[in-house]
Structures are given as structure tokens and as C-alpha cells.
Amino acid sequence: MTGFAPDLKVCGITRRADAQAAAAAGASFLGVVLAPGGTRTVALEVARDLLAGLPARRVGVFVDASVDELRRAGEDAALDVLQLHGDEPPKLVRALRDEGRWQVWKAIRPRDADEFRAGADRYAGSADALLLDGFSTRARGGTGARFPWEDVAPLRDVVPEGTLLVVAGGMRAADVGRAVALLRPDVVDVSSGVETAPGVKDGAAIEHFAAALRGSLQARQG
């Protein structure tokens, strides 16, 4: 991992100004929640306008949507990534990935090392990326809950080469460097950690987080 810096994803975007701020801070991925009923949910037509023309890959977040819904959303919003947070079976994940029009990221919410291993075993051959998020009974994501970094870290290598590891859940500028050192992710995903309220990002907080992420590389090189 020497010389390697994870990409940044800013998720839960609901305002065009926040998408622009994230792109300006160097985010490689911009995420919008398209699953209904969430505090950061946006309509499909809004998502398209939020992300249009920005130099970052577009990510749509879904929970147990049908294949037809996922395809339609992917096409209508010109998504680069379908991020799945429900109980989608590996067969569905694989079928979408094999279409080649987008990457498919599968979220798992491990509460311990065994749950991480089970999730990796189930989805690593089907998804382009495994996204680790914190478990909460309140929602499937965006709650600020963390997964147990220290428990998962020793099993990092169960994620096979060629499958990205994305880490999310309660990421903050103050400790993102520690998360990177422990987990060696390919992508770091932040949402609530750069907000003043659900769905309302703070441009200065996004830049501060991005700087801390860049600093995690410098610390390892030093």
C-alpha cells in the first residue's frame, strides 16, 4: 500500500452546491440515495441534475430494488455505480455487473469478524466492490454507525484481488487516517461526517475531510 491513497466518495448528496463542493475537493465518486423513504432520498430526475457535468463518477444507492428499477435508474441518471444496500442475492448482483454498463457495489454491515467473512464469502465473486457500513436498526445506511474496524482489519485479505473495498459508516476527518491504516481501503465513503444536518453538506467540512484523507498517505510515507 506504499504510495497508495484511497479514492474519496461523498454520499447522500441532495444539493447541487454540495456536489460541486465535493468534486472541487477531489471526490472521485458522488453518491445519491435513490431508495425511497430515507432522510437523504432524492427523486431520479433530481439526481440526474445534481450530478450532471461534474468530474466524478455517479453512484446511485438502492435498497432491494428490482432489476428493472435498477436498470432504469442506471440509464436515466447515467450512473457509473449501482450501490446495493438491501438483501439482494449474489445472482442479481452478478447479473447486473455482467451487463458491463456500470460497476455494482454490495454493502454489508458486519457486527463482528464472522459477519464480515460471511459477507465477503457470499458476494466477493459477484460484486465489483464490497462496501462495509455500520449496522443500525434505524436504517440501512447513512446513520453514522461504525462497523468494528479492529475486528475486521485482520481479515482484510479475504477480499480477493480485483474486488474493491469501500469503507463507510461514521467516518470523520479526525480518524479517517486510522481507518485507512487499519483497513487499507480502495475508497473511503463519507456522508454524515461532513454534514450540518441530514443531506446538508458543509463545503469546508468536505475539504477538511479530503485533506485528512490525503494526509493519511503522507503519514504512511513519512
- E-strand ranges in 13-117 read 29-33, 57-62, 81-84, 103-108
The reported pTM is 0.93
CATH number, domain 7-221: 3.20.20.70
Which residues are CB-neighbours of 111 under 8 A, at least 6 positions away? 135, 147, 148
**What pLDDT does 216 receive?**
77
**What pLDDT does 1 receive?**
40
Helix/strand/coil percent split, the chain, to 5: 40, 20, 40
The pLDDT of residue 16 is above 80: yes
The pLDDT of residue 157 is above 60: yes
Report percent pLDDT > 70 for the chain: 91
Name the band, by pLDDT with cuts 50, 70 and 90, for residue 5.
confident
DSSP category for residue 12? -
User: For the CA atoms of 186, 92, 60, 191, what is the dihedral angle to 10 degrees?
Assistant: -50
Cell numbers for 191: 456522508
Residue 190, classed as helix, strand or coil, is strand
> What is the crossing angle of helices 44-51 and 67-76, to 10°?
40
**Tens digit of pLDDT for each residue in 41-86?**
999 999 999 999 999 999 999 999 999 999 999 999 999 999 999 9
Strand partners, 33: 41, 61
**Dist. CA 174–CA 207, nearest whole Å:** 13
Residue 209, classed as helix, strand or coil, is helix
Strand partners, 41: 33
Amino acid in the structure at residue 39: T
Mean of per-residue pLDDT scores for the chain: 92
Residue 212, classed as helix, strand or coil, is helix
**Tens digit of pLDDT for each residue in 102-117?**
999 999 999 999 999 9
5 class by beta-carbon count within 10 Å (0-12 exposed, 13-18 middle, 19+ buried): middle
Find cell 477480499 and name the residue. Answer: 159
The pLDDT of residue 220 is above 60: no
DSSP string, 97-111: HHT-SSEEEEEE--S
The domains of the chain are located at 7-221
**Dist. CA 29–CA 80, nearest whole Å:** 9
Average pLDDT over residues 185-209: 97
Cell numbers for 205: 467540512
Instruction: Identify which of 25, 28, 30 has the alpha carbon closest to the alpha carbon of residue 10.
Output: 30
